[in-house]
Amino acid sequence: MSYPQETFLHTTLLPGSLVARRRAVVSSSTLSYQLDVLKETGRYDAFKLQWHPTYSHAAETWPVPKHLFWDSDVGKWIEGACYCLVDQPNVDIENAIKELVQMIRSAQQPDGYLNIHYTVVDPEKRFTNLRDMHELYNCGHLIEAALAHNHLYRNDDLLEPMLKYVDLLCRKFGPGADQIHGYPGHPEIEQALLRLHDRTQDPRHLELAQYFITERGNPNGVEGENYYVVEAKRRNEPPAMRPRAYPEPDSLWYCQAHKPIVEQETIEGHSVRAMYLLTAVADLVKSQNSPNHRLKEAAYRLWDNMVDRKMYVTGGIGAIKQWEGFGIDYFLPQGTDDGGCYSETCASIGTMMLAERILQYDLNRKFSDILELCLYNAVLTSMSHDGTKFTYVNQLASSEQDLSKREEWFTCACCPPNVLRLLGSIGGYIYTQARASEPSQAQINVHLFIPSTYQFQVDGQDATLTQKSNWPWEGRVAFELKTKSDQVNLALRVPGWAKSWKMSPPPPTETLQRGYLVLPATWLSSNPSFTLEIALTPRLIAPHPYTNQDTLTLARGPIVYCIEDVDNAWVQDHFKTVQLDPHCKIDEITVTDKDTNDAYVALKVIKGASLMNMDALHASPDARIEELDKATGADAKIIEELIFVPYYFRANRGGRGQMRVGLKRWNK
Ligand code: FUB
Ligand code: ZN
């Protein structure tokens, strides 16, 4: 199995592209900024296992104390740091990693146990609340940190204690009579164990991952009941007592434990948990010699259900704040005023991970189109230009309650270090190498157009594939394959949104196979340099009619656009009354951002939008159709010029935090 967390080492991003610049900011600023925050908030020293004032407030946020994810915050930071250090050495960061690793090692208990909360605050209660307490989730992130650390430093300083902890878990969890028949409330350790198994080849690591995945949701897990139901009884929790995220007791769908994964028909519950679980499912399917078809089908079914009915046009998922996750089919309001929108950053990072895993066994652009959509919109929007401010929730429209703005940090800080590790390893998402039947052959799949060079081996010889472009602003991508072999095939994704494309020289056949243009070795041998030109004309997109939102959104290539008060200063109502003509002319303008010097394409609509005249309507919930027609038609005020900027770009230039992605359709 190849993992983006490792294959990124074969990819060199060429400087200058949007993604390369975002990654450079992460290396030069985000890493040290987040290190300072880890120190200021107590997370950095927490593995010293001293009491911290925050621990005294545990009961206030029952069942999940505020500090419960500190192990994972540190783990994700170490992991991301190890990815960035590969090409940007930084002595201060390296020293911090060394110190953290020593602290983590010294926090390990004699039997291998390693967890801040239970060791300091509640030592008697280890593994008694898998549902809520994130013990195994934290362990998963520390394993991933250890793998990244081991890869960078080629030593076992962090891997050794994690292997010892995993030994303990292998003894504790499983189907045996003396073992715990439970699984993590928040999946993560499953993916970590599968990666660990790939490295160690220890069958126990695979077995434990498999156990956690397949035991989940077993209705007869313990004493004829679901494990979490029995576990809560053992904690003497009254049946009516429930975590705040649960709308009613035993809402086990919140953590995808209401039935076994192979029986789940629809994607439900907490969206990050769902994505991490499915990523592990896809990974397991890939790593099995004879894949479990029911698991494979479940991953496809839940993916389709999510993308077709529960995904925003930005690639965001999760409309419901209470459980940070999915609502009913087509319930996708843009913001708090409209009924809620969550779209957590980690959830879209999880979607990217899932798409990447599936692409390794199913080359189909329906996965890579979403991978790209999430990257350029729901994920990139979560970090400021300077890399020191973040969003957790990524709504598509602001409101007075929830302005479009970023924060320096969060009490529950899962998202900022997740962006760090994702961008640190982003090179690993651009290409995959299909397993060839012969070592003398290779097939390289190109999923993303990010200027870069990919190094690979064919027939024991080094080879490279380079792509150069000004993506996502210009659609011309120049490829160059350098190899001594005549056995290298390429498959290039042609995005589903592309209205037209052409290649020069023309390919032997223009047939797309599931959205990929396959270029055979025979053709490449005489055409190692070629260009693919994809039309990047602005387009209008609309949500599914069942969402009951008659709105239009501007997009260009993979970029989804929004409007902000910075460019449209007259706005008072978060653009609720702006209506956009579906036949409007959209002009492109190349702008250089004065803070970063980054050039980007903004869009301009002249006289193609108007403001509804709300004064013409009675202040009652109903309006007569004639009044409404007047308010939206004859009485509407034409907007001379409306400026749109990329959604990822929002909330970077000051302003009042008013923003909207989807605008009402102006039915003239
Ligand atoms: O529970 C750990 C992380 O915190 C989740 O992934 C986020 O949704 C937030 O709840
Ligand atoms: Zn998050």
Quick: pLDDT tens for 624-634.
889 899 999 99
Q: Confirm or reject: Cβ of 188 under 6 Å from ligand 1.
A: no
Nearest ligand to residue 391 Cα: 2
Q: Confirm or reject: Cβ of 324 under 6 Å from ligand 1.
A: yes
- How remote is the CA of residue 415 from the centroid of ligand 2, in Å? 4
DSSP-derived letter for residue 657 is -
Cβ distance 134 to 65 under 8 Å? Answer: no
pLDDT digits 0-9 by tens, 156-208: 999 999 999 999 999 999 999 999 999 999 999 999 999 999 999 999 999 99
- Give the residue, out of 412, 415, 422, with the most ligand 1 atoms within 8 A of its beta carbon, to mutate for a pocket test: 412
- How remote is the CA of residue 435 from the centroid of ligand 2, in Å? 33
Nearest ligand to residue 324 Cα: 1
Among 285-289, 338-342, 414-418, the range scoring the smallest mean pLDDT is 285-289
Q: Confirm or reject: Cβ of 186 under 6 Å from ligand 1.
A: yes
Is the pLDDT score of 68 beyond 80? Answer: yes
Determine which residue's CA is closest to atom 6 belonging to ligand 1.
272
Q: What is the average per-residue pLDDT within 445-470? A: 97
pLDDT digits 0-9 by tens, 495-535: 999 999 999 999 999 899 999 999 999 999 999 999 999 99
Determine which residue's CA is closest to atom 3 belonging to ligand 1.
414
H/E stretch holding 26 reads none
- Residue 273 Cα: closest atom of ligand 1: 6
- How remote is the CA of residue 272 from the centroid of ligand 1, in Å? 7
Q: Confirm or reject: Cβ of 412 under 6 Å from ligand 1.
A: yes
Q: Confirm or reject: Cβ of 392 under 6 Å from ligand 1.
A: no
pLDDT digits 0-9 by tens, 109-118: 999 999 999 9
Q: Confirm or reject: Cβ of 415 under 6 Å from ligand 1.
A: no
The CATH code that applies to domain 14-428 is: 1.50.10
Nearest ligand to residue 273 Cα: 1
Quick one: pLDDT at residue 616?
Answer: 83
pLDDT digits 0-9 by tens, 258-302: 999 999 999 999 999 999 999 999 999 998 877 789 999 999 999
- How remote is the CA of residue 569 from the centroid of ligand 1, in Å? 36
Nearest ligand to residue 393 Cα: 2
- Classify residue 259 by burial, with Cβ atoms within 10 Å: 0-12, 13-18, 19+: middle
Q: Confirm or reject: Cβ of 349 under 6 Å from ligand 1.
A: no
Q: Confirm or reject: Cβ of 393 under 6 Å from ligand 1.
A: no
- How remote is the CA of residue 423 from the centroid of ligand 1, in Å? 19
Query: Which positions ≥6 away from 291 have C-beta within 8 Å?
Result: 285, 361
Q: Of the candidates 26, 77, 11, 6, which has an alpha carbon nearest to the alpha carbon of residue 384? A: 26
| 222: phi then psi, degrees, rounded to nearest 5 | -135, 135
Query: For residue 314, what pLDDT band results from cuts at 50, 70 and 90?
Result: very high
Cβ distance 157 to 101 under 8 Å? Answer: yes
Quick one: pLDDT at residue 366?
Answer: 98
pLDDT digits 0-9 by tens, 377-405: 999 999 999 999 999 999 999 999 999 99
**Alpha carbon distances (Å) from 139 to 135, 159, 165, 350, 427:** 6, 12, 8, 18, 25
- Residue 137 Cα: closest atom of ligand 1: 2
**Alpha carbon distances (Å) from 122 to 70, 125, 127, 575:** 15, 6, 11, 50
Cβ distance 469 to 476 under 8 Å? Answer: yes
Q: Show the tokens assigned to 219.
A: 């209705």
Cβ distance 432 to 2 under 8 Å? Answer: yes
- How remote is the CA of residue 134 from the centroid of ligand 1, in Å? 9
- Give the residue, out of 64, 70, 324, with the most ligand 1 atoms within 8 A of its beta carbon, to mutate for a pocket test: 324
- Cα 340 to the center of its chain, rounded Å: 20
b/e per residue, 408-417, with b = 16+ CB within 10 A?
ebeeebbbbb
- How remote is the CA of residue 536 from the centroid of ligand 2, in Å? 31
Cβ distance 226 to 218 under 8 Å? Answer: yes
Q: Confirm or reject: Cβ of 272 under 6 Å from ligand 1.
A: yes
Please report, to the nearest 10 degrees, the dihedral formed by the alpha carbons of residues 130, 134, 136, 140 taken in order.
160
Q: How far apart are the first and last CA of the chain?
A: 55
- How remote is the CA of residue 392 from the centroid of ligand 2, in Å? 6
Is the pLDDT score of 1 beyond 80? Answer: no
Q: Of the candidates 460, 423, 465, which has an alpha carbon nearest to the alpha carbon of residue 446? A: 465
Nearest ligand to residue 254 Cα: 1
* Average predicted confidence (pLDDT) for the chain: 96
Q: Confirm or reject: Cβ of 414 under 6 Å from ligand 1.
A: yes
- How remote is the CA of residue 418 from the centroid of ligand 2, in Å? 7
- How remote is the CA of residue 414 from the centroid of ligand 1, in Å? 6
Q: Confirm or reject: Cβ of 569 under 6 Å from ligand 1.
A: no
Query: Which positions ≥6 away from 352 have C-beta within 8 Å?
Result: 371, 374, 375, 379, 422, 429
224 sits in the region (left: phi over 0; alpha: psi -120 to 50; else beta) called left
- Give the residue, out of 186, 279, 392, with the most ligand 1 atoms within 8 A of its beta carbon, to mutate for a pocket test: 186
- How remote is the CA of residue 393 from the centroid of ligand 2, in Å? 8
- How remote is the CA of residue 79 from the centroid of ligand 2, in Å? 16
Determine which residue's CA is closest to atom 4 belonging to ligand 1.
414
- Residue 412 Cα: closest atom of ligand 1: 4
Nearest ligand to residue 394 Cα: 2
Q: Show the tokens assigned to 446.
A: 């190109």
- How remote is the CA of residue 475 from the centroid of ligand 2, in Å? 32
- How remote is the CA of residue 625 from the centroid of ligand 2, in Å? 44
Is the pLDDT score of 316 beyond 70? Answer: yes
Q: Confirm or reject: Cβ of 346 under 6 Å from ligand 1.
A: yes
